[in-house]
Protein backbone atom coordinates (compact mmCIF):
# COMPACT_ATOMS: atom_id res chain seq x y z
CA UNK A 1 0.00 0.00 0.00
CA UNK A 2 1.10 3.48 -0.77
CA UNK A 3 1.15 6.24 1.78
CA UNK A 4 -2.46 6.45 2.88
CA UNK A 5 -2.46 10.24 2.79
CA UNK A 6 -1.78 10.04 -0.93
CA UNK A 7 -4.48 7.51 -1.63
CA UNK A 8 -8.11 8.40 -2.31
CA UNK A 9 -10.73 5.65 -2.25
CA UNK A 10 -14.00 6.25 -4.01
CA UNK A 11 -17.19 4.23 -3.61
CA UNK A 12 -20.03 3.50 -5.98
CA UNK A 13 -21.40 6.65 -7.65
CA UNK A 14 -18.51 8.76 -6.33
CA UNK A 15 -15.63 10.59 -7.95
CA UNK A 16 -12.36 12.31 -7.04
CA UNK A 17 -9.58 14.35 -8.62
CA UNK A 18 -5.91 14.27 -7.58
CA UNK A 19 -2.90 16.45 -8.46
CA UNK A 20 0.87 15.90 -8.61
CA UNK A 21 1.27 12.46 -7.04
CA UNK A 22 -1.08 9.92 -5.54
CA UNK A 23 -3.54 7.19 -6.30
CA UNK A 24 -7.28 6.85 -6.74
CA UNK A 25 -8.76 3.44 -5.95
CA UNK A 26 -12.20 1.95 -6.35
CA UNK A 27 -12.97 -1.57 -5.14
CA UNK A 28 -15.30 -4.16 -6.58
CA UNK A 29 -16.46 -2.82 -9.94
CA UNK A 30 -19.07 -5.19 -11.35
CA UNK A 31 -21.25 -3.81 -14.12
CA UNK A 32 -20.18 -0.34 -13.03
CA UNK A 33 -17.46 1.45 -15.00
CA UNK A 34 -14.37 2.99 -13.43
CA UNK A 35 -13.43 5.84 -15.77
CA UNK A 36 -10.21 7.81 -15.45
CA UNK A 37 -9.57 11.08 -17.24
CA UNK A 38 -6.05 12.52 -17.00
CA UNK A 39 -3.87 15.14 -18.60
CA UNK A 40 -0.86 13.55 -20.29
CA UNK A 41 1.33 16.59 -19.61
CA UNK A 42 0.09 18.27 -16.44
CA UNK A 43 -0.06 15.98 -13.39
CA UNK A 44 -3.79 15.98 -12.79
CA UNK A 45 -6.21 13.03 -12.98
CA UNK A 46 -9.66 12.03 -11.79
CA UNK A 47 -11.85 8.96 -11.55
CA UNK A 48 -15.60 8.34 -11.44
CA UNK A 49 -17.36 5.10 -10.45
CA UNK A 50 -20.24 5.14 -12.95
CA UNK A 51 -23.32 3.06 -12.19
CA UNK A 52 -25.85 3.76 -14.95
CA UNK A 53 -25.76 5.19 -18.51
CA UNK A 54 -28.17 8.11 -18.19
CA UNK A 55 -29.31 10.49 -15.48
CA UNK A 56 -33.10 10.30 -15.17
CA UNK A 57 -33.28 14.10 -14.79
CA UNK A 58 -30.81 16.97 -15.22
CA UNK A 59 -28.68 17.94 -12.21
CA UNK A 60 -28.89 14.73 -10.20
CA UNK A 61 -27.73 14.85 -6.56
CA UNK A 62 -24.82 12.52 -7.40
CA UNK A 63 -23.62 13.49 -10.90
CA UNK A 64 -20.85 10.86 -10.62
CA UNK A 65 -23.46 8.09 -10.72
CA UNK A 66 -24.51 8.40 -14.38
CA UNK A 67 -22.22 8.27 -17.42
CA UNK A 68 -23.63 11.44 -18.99
CA UNK A 69 -23.40 13.65 -15.90
CA UNK A 70 -20.28 11.92 -14.49
CA UNK A 71 -18.18 12.59 -17.58
CA UNK A 72 -19.27 16.23 -17.70
CA UNK A 73 -18.49 16.59 -13.96
CA UNK A 74 -15.07 14.97 -14.25
CA UNK A 75 -14.03 16.83 -17.39
CA UNK A 76 -14.95 20.21 -15.89
CA UNK A 77 -13.21 19.35 -12.62
CA UNK A 78 -10.00 18.47 -14.50
CA UNK A 79 -10.06 21.66 -16.53
CA UNK A 80 -10.53 23.67 -13.32
CA UNK A 81 -7.42 21.95 -11.94
CA UNK A 82 -5.38 23.07 -14.91
CA UNK A 83 -5.80 20.25 -17.44
CA UNK A 84 -5.76 21.28 -21.10
CA UNK A 85 -8.56 19.93 -23.33
CA UNK A 86 -6.15 18.68 -26.00
CA UNK A 87 -4.10 16.77 -23.43
CA UNK A 88 -6.98 14.90 -21.80
CA UNK A 89 -6.99 11.11 -22.26
CA UNK A 90 -9.18 8.33 -20.88
CA UNK A 91 -8.69 4.85 -19.44
CA UNK A 92 -11.54 2.68 -18.24
CA UNK A 93 -12.36 -0.68 -16.72
CA UNK A 94 -15.44 -2.58 -15.57
CA UNK A 95 -18.76 -3.11 -17.31
CA UNK A 96 -18.93 -6.84 -16.52
CA UNK A 97 -22.01 -9.03 -16.49
CA UNK A 98 -21.74 -10.77 -13.13
CA UNK A 99 -24.73 -13.10 -13.41
CA UNK A 100 -24.18 -14.82 -16.70
CA UNK A 101 -27.36 -16.80 -17.19
CA UNK A 102 -29.54 -13.74 -16.97
CA UNK A 103 -30.46 -12.24 -20.27
CA UNK A 104 -32.98 -9.54 -19.45
CA UNK A 105 -32.13 -6.10 -20.77
CA UNK A 106 -31.68 -4.66 -17.29
CA UNK A 107 -28.89 -7.12 -16.57
CA UNK A 108 -26.87 -6.20 -19.64
CA UNK A 109 -26.26 -2.89 -17.96
CA UNK A 110 -22.48 -3.40 -17.96
CA UNK A 111 -22.42 -3.32 -21.77
CA UNK A 112 -24.65 -0.29 -21.85
CA UNK A 113 -22.47 1.56 -19.36
CA UNK A 114 -19.37 0.91 -21.49
CA UNK A 115 -21.15 1.82 -24.71
CA UNK A 116 -22.54 5.09 -23.37
CA UNK A 117 -19.20 6.07 -21.82
CA UNK A 118 -17.39 5.35 -25.10
CA UNK A 119 -19.87 7.40 -27.13
CA UNK A 120 -19.73 10.37 -24.80
CA UNK A 121 -15.92 10.40 -24.76
CA UNK A 122 -15.93 10.23 -28.54
CA UNK A 123 -18.30 13.21 -28.62
CA UNK A 124 -15.86 15.18 -26.45
CA UNK A 125 -12.94 14.00 -28.63
CA UNK A 126 -11.24 12.41 -25.66
CA UNK A 127 -9.23 9.38 -26.82
CA UNK A 128 -9.62 6.13 -24.84
CA UNK A 129 -6.01 4.98 -24.75
CA UNK A 130 -6.66 1.74 -22.86
CA UNK A 131 -9.58 -0.26 -21.52
CA UNK A 132 -10.30 -3.52 -19.72
CA UNK A 133 -14.05 -4.09 -19.94
CA UNK A 134 -16.67 -6.83 -20.09
CA UNK A 135 -16.35 -10.41 -18.92
CA UNK A 136 -18.05 -12.01 -15.94
CA UNK A 137 -15.84 -10.94 -13.06
CA UNK A 138 -15.36 -8.05 -10.68
CA UNK A 139 -12.38 -5.69 -10.71
CA UNK A 140 -10.61 -3.46 -8.23
CA UNK A 141 -8.81 -0.61 -9.99
CA UNK A 142 -6.10 1.85 -9.04
CA UNK A 143 -4.83 4.83 -11.02
CA UNK A 144 -1.43 6.23 -10.16
CA UNK A 145 -0.02 9.71 -10.66
CA UNK A 146 2.47 10.64 -11.99
CA UNK A 147 3.00 7.27 -13.74
CA UNK A 148 -0.56 7.27 -15.19
CA UNK A 149 -0.62 3.51 -14.85
CA UNK A 150 -4.07 1.99 -14.38
CA UNK A 151 -3.85 -1.27 -12.41
CA UNK A 152 -6.63 -3.84 -12.46
CA UNK A 153 -6.99 -6.72 -10.03
CA UNK A 154 -9.66 -9.42 -10.33
CA UNK A 155 -11.24 -11.69 -7.72
CA UNK A 156 -9.03 -14.55 -8.92
CA UNK A 157 -5.97 -12.50 -8.08
CA UNK A 158 -5.01 -11.69 -11.68
CA UNK A 159 -3.31 -8.33 -12.05
CA UNK A 160 -2.72 -6.29 -15.14
CA UNK A 161 -1.64 -2.77 -15.88
CA UNK A 162 -2.90 -0.67 -18.74
Partner 1 sequence: MSQMELDDLTADALREFGNIGAGHAATALSVLLEGRVAMSVTDARFCPFRDIVDVVGGPEQLVAAVFIRISGEIPGNMFVLFSLGSVDRLLDQLIEPVDSREDYSDLDLSAVAEVGNILTGAYVTAISDLCNIQLNQSVPSVAIDMAAAILDIGLMMTGYDENEAILISTSLAHGQHAIDGHFFMLPDVDGTQTLLSVLRRAPEHG
Residues in contact with partner 1, shown as a per-residue x/- string from 49 to 88 under the rule CB under 8 A: --xx---x--------x-----------------------
Taking the C-alpha atoms of residue 35 and residue 107, their distance in angstroms, rounded to an integer, is 20
Residues 6+ apart with CB under 8 A from 137: 96, 98, 154, 155, 156
Considering only CA atoms, which of 85, 83, 58, 82 is closest in space to residue 69? 58
Residue 151 beta carbon to partner 1: minimum distance, rounded to whole angstroms: 14
* Runs of H (alpha helix) within 16-142: 67-80, 109-123
Annotated active-site residue in 17, 32, 96, 116: 32
Among 80, 84, 122, 136, binds partner 1 (CB under 8 A): 136
Stretch near partner 1 under the rule CB under 8 A, chosen from 16-24, 29-37, 79-87, 120-128: 29-37
Measured between alpha carbons, how far is 29 from 7 in angstroms, rounded to an integer? 18
The stretch near partner 1 (CB under 8 A) out of 21-29, 80-88, 116-124, 143-151 is 21-29
Does 32 participate in catalysis according to the annotation? Answer: yes
Amino acid sequence: MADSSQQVRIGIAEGAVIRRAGQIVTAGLGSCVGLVLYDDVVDVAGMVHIMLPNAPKPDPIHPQKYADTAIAWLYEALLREGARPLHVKAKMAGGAQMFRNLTTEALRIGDRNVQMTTELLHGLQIPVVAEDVGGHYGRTVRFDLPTRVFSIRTARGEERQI
